[in-house]
Amino acid sequence: NYPEFLENSLKDSFGHKFEKNLVSLNSEANLFIRINLIKGTVDHVINSLRDEGIELEPIPRFKNSFKVTKNRKKIDRSKVYLSGQIEIQDISSQAIVNFINPKQNTKILDFCAGGGGKTLSMASFTLGKAKFFAHDTNSSKLPNLQMRCRRAGFKVQMLSPTKIKERKSQFDLVVVDVPCSGTGVWKRNPGSKWVLTENYLYSLILNQKKILKEAAKYVKKDGALAYITCSVLKTENHDQIESFLSADKNFSFGADTFIPPLEGGDGFYASLINKIN
């Protein structure tokens, strides 16, 4: 139940767990929440949601994250959601932010901000004690991000295509969650797999290279660039980083992580590369 042209790539990504991961991608997506530590506490959130008939299950190794096991459809109408004490966010996406490990008292740019999920998560991670900036070529997404940040209790500065060009080499951390094939989120968007073609995948890969090169311009010396996809394909992940590093000697490889869908959430990849010159 996948495009035939991807078979070898998927087998290369999943190895001996190929079939198990494909079965996972054909299952229903779980609903996860993250407590916004700027506003909420674990005990208050659990008790408030329980009073509204919403039940949670703790996630191993995640202190402030839960899987919703009962009355999922009530979450976005709950008191703690409407007051900004919790956010809906896939557990793998949360794990990626933990991997990135954003620091307090730094300047952080979300380069392909979109709806702002990564910005919101990084703000909670740092207790709001960093300076956050957001940019997206689709500016229509940014007003909604501004509203979500206000609800979550922190400020974010929006950078237009003109304004961002004045910010080169200024950020301690630049996060670039690039447009991708979405092969890691098929359980959430099952129809998207049949839209994917070899030509479209090729165009995505070219665009990722372009975006990665552009985002790198805004990292300061001794800063870091975090490259993220919700793809499981090495051509969009490891191969992109390898290609970038071979072309730009101002950066060096730091670390990367691959989270397969078999672990319960979406499939994600992230790499941290450091600016050394």
Please write the tens of the pLDDT for every residue from 53-72.
999 999 999 999 999 999 99
Instruction: For residue 137, name the pLDDT band (cuts at 50, 70, 90).
Output: confident
Task: Reply yes or no on whether the pLDDT at 143 is more than 90.
Answer: no
Rounded CA-CA distance 163/192 in Å is 34
pLDDT bin (cut points 50, 70, 90) of residue 126 is very high
| pLDDT the model gives residue 138 | 82
**The pLDDT value given to residue 177:** 97
Residue 141 binned pLDDT confidence (cut-offs 50, 70, 90): confident
Q: Does 139 have pLDDT greater than 90? A: no
pLDDT per residue over 222-253, tens digit each? 999 999 999 999 999 999 999 999 999 999 99
Query: Binning pLDDT at 50, 70 and 90, where does residue 200 land?
Result: very high
Please report the pLDDT score of residue 62 as a whole number. 94
pLDDT score at 144:
87
Could you report the per-residue pLDDT of 152-180, keeping only the tens digit for each?
A: 999 999 999 899 999 999 999 999 999 99
Q: 8-12, 138-142, 207-211, 266-270: which has the minimum mean pLDDT?
A: 138-142
The 3-state secondary structure of 23-38 reads HHHCCCCCCEEEECCC
Q: What contacts 24+ positions apart, CB below 8 Å, involve 45-50?
A: 45/80, 45/85, 45/86, 48/78, 48/79, 48/80, 48/85, 49/75, 49/78, 49/80
Site of tokens 């590369």: 273
- The owner of tokens 């039940």 is 55
pLDDT-above-90 percentage for the chain: 92
Say if CB 29 and CB 15 are below 8 A apart. no
Least-confidence region, from 141-155, 169-183, 259-273: 141-155
Question: Is residue 1 over pLDDT 90?
Answer: no
pLDDT of residue 142: 80
